[in-house]
Structure 1
């Protein structure tokens, strides 16, 4: 059928797939026919056990657990989507980031992707096909010095690693693509907006405007929705994007200023 997007017959691993854009991506991949395995530290009640493996991906053991589950449950993988990420760094600029804070940012935002690729991509190369999608962030271009220097630096490292990987393995049949979201309206970001609104004595819309102002503005006037991030990822993972590799797709409502 012309215009029909499908992932039927594809085996997909999606990390961080239990909330936000990760959960939306898992749901869409299933809707499009993919066999999906996702992971987090604990399984939500609404996710079938056969689709989930409990693991802490900031550890080497957690990555090994997930890679073993991919092999034993699905017999390999055709699509890897590295959704896992986030920031727990304190405010206060660079001086507030000690050794533990830097290690935490790298352990969450860079090393899980590196480890899982190392474990699973060789089999993709052997089968001569596959797609690896690294979810980076516009903060690698627009870091917020007060609070996200470590996170932004880790995502920048992920982006450079992804580009290098694409140059190495694209000639062997495995595409590597980056998706860089801006502000996504998740439950966590709404809670942040509510907190900011309460502190400033305004309403939820006012709290959202505060976040948009901190980012330098969002021309479309709103954050992205999780399903919109999932739509882009699903297209890039599909055969309709068969000649796309080595590139980064920004989805931020126009936040990053460009010429």
Structure 2
């Protein structure tokens, strides 16, 4: 990999970089030579404190503290990967989604990117270079109405914002790209598959099949791994992708059934 991609000297921020695809992205960017700062609410065991910022990015104050840490520790920034996201909305369709839940989904899946971009992009624009990756979701075009309406809407907003931002800053030398994953086989999704399997009286593969069925099927027959997503991101932020901007790259095994 290092013979094809080389990020030596690059300075990067990866939000939500302590687990799942975020952790895989941090590890790969570092393997390729980048200095990577990452964030979460609390410092996980085994993470270098010098390259970590404890912050709640769902708040303006948390975003401001991360932006300040980028300035203090990295000086300038070349790569920003907005990996942070998720949902804690209950099932029950739209009627179960209170104003508080809607705000929570937007505060997690949209506003951290908006706030950090506002703080960090001016430096990229001033230097005439940089790459921003917004990690969206196939849920933005394939929402599951039972539980992901608010999450899907927030990710759709992130995708539209990202496209507009790319049109604004591409003429100034800064690339903005979207990565849209489907189901990723993270530790959390493994636990979900195991729980579904136990409830259905089947094994882990049966639990995975239940998840794939809920998505309408995955033609490739398997989810992506965190490392698959990290590899796509590493390519997109590298000099191997110098004219890719404003595009969205879906990595879902063929789940989305439309063009």
In which range does the TM-score fall when normalised by the shorter chain?
over 0.9
Q: CA deviation at 1:190?
A: 0.6
Counterpart of 2:165 in structure 1 is 165
Aligned twin of 1:251: 251
TM-score using structure 1 length? 0.98
Q: What is the TM-score normalised by the length of structure 2? A: 0.98
- Provide the rounded CA distance (Å) in 2 between the counterparts of 1:240 and 1:215: 33
Write the distance in 2 (CA, Å) between the matches of 1:207 and 1:138.
Answer: 21
Between 83-92 and 199-208, report the one with greater CA deviation: 199-208
Secondary structure, aligned partner of 1:151: helix
2-side partners of 1:39 and 1:2: how far apart? Answer: 25
How many residue pairs get aligned? The number is: 259
Distance apart, 1:3 and its partner CA: 5.5
Mark the CA change 1:140 to 1:232 in structure 2 (over 3 Å): closer, same or farther: same
State the alpha-carbon separation in 2 of the partners of residues 190 and 157 from structure 1.
28
State how 1:147-158 maps to structure 2 within 5 Å.
147-158=147-158
Is the 8 Å Cα contact of residues 220 and 254 (structure 2) preserved in structure 1? yes
Corresponding residue for residue 41 of structure 2? 41
Paired with 2:2 and 2:228, the residues of 1 have a C-alpha distance of 22
Structure 2's unaligned 5+ residue stretches are none
Deviations, residues 184-217 of structure 1 (Å, cap 9, x unaligned): 0000001111111111111111110000000000
Consecutive unaligned residues of structure 1, counting only runs of 5 or more, are none
Structure 1 residue 2: deviation in Å?
A: 10
1:58-95 per-residue CA deviation (whole Å, 9 max, x = no partner) reads: 00000000000000000020000000000100000000
Runs of 4+ in 1 over 6 A off after TM superposition: none
SS in 1 for 2:240: helix
Secondary structure at the residue paired with 1:241? coil
Cα distance in 1 for partners of 2:228, 2:118 equals 29
What is the DSSP-based 3-state SS (H/G/I as helix, E as strand, rest coil) of the residue aligned with 1:179?
strand
1:213 is matched with: 213
